[in-house]
Structure 1
């Protein structure tokens, strides 16, 4: 049995699309909302099983990786989040790079020698790695219109991954992947599935319009903190709104908080775009936090810790500005 395990955002989906276009496999799809990163807890393996794991932190899944290897499974693991110690094992192959300009789909693109670069460009835009996306796109002779189309697709796929549950999303990530993997080119996907693309775009635009009416809970020269209401649209837009704010104010760090099902806050943090570091370090200081240098999050921040969070967030990034 083969399992394809992937983050439900643009990077995870586009990484798997590239791999399965290059090598078709019958597999069991394991995915979920973007913040559902301990995906290996969702199933068990037997000796001889194989897994492809994409765009979820190795560090957060290291115990299950060890269990699966001990059970006789083989694992191909590609990611750009915090990794922790990576064991040496004959059945484990890893492609992990935590550089702030790298995402999982760019790693897969390199692994495949650039076989499906349009999907990698799409994913990089989705991860708000605009410079990396444009750098790769510059080798493909894309005009401005096509580049903007890939950017919109990447942003909207990424937007679709956020929510408190799959019920908040416009499309379940595995369903969206299955629609997209039939196409070697994102442009062909858009052409043949205009209704899907339109639903994502319209949802994104409506939710962003709602978010842009929200005033910051706290802000100064170093940081801005936004608290969204307890609604499905707010949970959907939390990540892409953070990217939008980072692009508008590249010298500031941003935090966007939405309500989660545990009665606390789901937190999305974006480091300043002019110094894309520290988000993973800061969020890892909280029990359910983690991520990567430019963008990270906390899955559950108790309500009574909001003031503490703001104080720590301000102190962390104010120090880096001094």
Structure 2
């Protein structure tokens, strides 16, 4: 029997798995990648009785491979907050899925574990831009100073930032390595203080890339929508998600689309619904090939240039 952990390479996926492996250590095979690489189950080979944990990737995008693994005889534990589509009914599949716009995978795992490692759930929620939920979780379960809470928030943002890129080579730290480093610590603050080399690497990269993004003006902005185009540069690929989150926090009544040029001449798209109306992002993006996500935040992995005008029209019509 083998153990296989499959997880999104962003803050939510890493922090969710950190909680689970602190609660139940396993010598497992790690399968992950950049945040946009969500079709991860296709790379999994398994034998009857293998235990597979899947975190923070859409079941809808992985259903055929999930069914393949279940047919082989693997046991699957699946936790996520994205649109799942039809969920297979079998005793070999245990599912914790909640599409509500105010939760994330780290918070779902925290509920499952009874607040056993709530600080990591707070980090994951901050990283996924669930700031109100992270604050509420901290108020309920943590006894930490405001200074320490802001450190948890920064760590979540930096881990999330590190997940964005066209390939692992764009990232400062490969997600599997980052998981191994953070999961050594029951308290996220211990990671910050004891592994300052890697924390500082993430922090310095984040601020450098965000400074570059600050110089990009909106292609068009109104009271309800704004959209931006970032160049085909590694810093732009790394910053696209956290830049979108910051825009959402700065303009909570406005929807945002951040398009990053690719080497093929197409666009990688990040969409954020208004913070005060967290709906419609996934429905919008699923109208285009390679699109998906959740109600508050979604994206398109490859938007052809010829579809740009149609996308902008649909985006603005979604948030009139």
Q: Quick check: 1:85 aligned with 2:86?
A: yes
Q: Which of residues 285, 288, 291 in structure 1 aligns to 2:287?
A: 285
Superimposed CA distance per residue, residues 51-83 of structure 1 (whole angstroms, 9 cap, x where no aligned partner): 000000011111111111001111000000011
Query: Which runs of 5 or more residues in structure 2 are unaligned?
Result: none
- Hey, what does 1:42 align to over in structure 2? 43
Superposed, which structure 2 residues align to 1:188-267 within 5 Å?
188-267=190-269
Q: 1:302 aligns with which of 283, 299, 304?
A: 304
Partner of 2:5: 4
Secondary structure of the structure 1 residue equivalent to 2:302: strand
Does structure 2 conserve the Cα–Cα contact (< 8 Å) formed by 1:81 and 1:291?
yes
Query: After alignment, is 38-47 or 3-12 more displaced?
Result: 38-47
Q: Quick one: distance in 2 between partners of 1:69 and 1:126?
A: 31
- 1:183 is aligned to 185
1:103 and 2:91 are equivalent in the alignment? no
CA distance in 1, matches of 2:264, 2:144: 45
Whether the 8 Å contact between 1:223 and 1:317 is mirrored in structure 2 is: yes
CA distance in 2: counterparts of 1:259 and 1:69, whole angstroms? 38
Instruction: State the Cα distance separating 1:262 from its structure 2 match.
Output: 4.0
Name the CA distance, whole Å, in 1 between partners of 2:311 and 2:221. Answer: 13
Superposition deviation, residue 263 in structure 1: 3.2
State the match for 1:71 in structure 2: 72
Match of 1:55 in 2: 56
Cα pair 2:232 2:263 within 8 Å, conserved: no
Counterpart of 1:268 in 2: which secondary structure?
strand
Question: Which residue of structure 2 lines up, in the alignment, with residue 134 of structure 1?
Answer: 135
TM-score, structure 1 length as denominator? 0.97
Q: Could you tell me which residue of structure 2 aligns to residue 158 of structure 1?
A: 160
Alignment partners' CA distance in 1, 2:204 and 2:305: 32
User: Structure 1: how far apart are the matches of 2:93 and 2:264?
Assistant: 35
Return the alpha-carbon distance in structure 1 between the equivalents of residues 35 and 248 of structure 2.
Answer: 19
Report which stretch shifted further, 43-52 or 234-243: 43-52
Q: Which range moves more in the overlay, 38-47 or 238-247?
A: 38-47
8 Å CA contact retained: 1:6, 1:12: yes
1:44 CA displacement: 1.6
Partner of 2:120: 119
The 2-side partners of 1:310 and 1:183 are apart by: 44
Question: 1:141, CA displacement in angstroms?
Answer: 2.3
CA deviation after TM superposition for structure 1 residue 43, in Å? 2.4
Distance 2:310 2:284 in 1: 13
**Structure 1 residue runs without a partner (length 5+):** none
* 1:28 counterpart residue number: 29
- The CA distance in 2 between the partners of 1:230 and 1:261, in whole Å, is 6
Stretches (4+) displaced over 4 A: none
Q: Aligned partners of 1:251, 1:34: CA distance in 2, in Å?
A: 26
Q: Is the 8 A contact 1:9 1:158 kept in 2?
A: yes
Is contact 1:262–1:300 with CA below 8 Å preserved after alignment? Answer: no
CA spacing shift, 1:58–1:261, aligned 2, 3 Å? farther
Check the 8 A contact 1:15/1:108 in 2, yes or no.
yes
Q: TM-score, normalised by structure 2?
A: 0.98
SS at match of 2:79: strand
Which secondary structure state, in structure 2, belongs to the residue aligned with residue 59 of structure 1? coil
Across the two proteins, how many residue pairs are aligned to each other?
Answer: 318
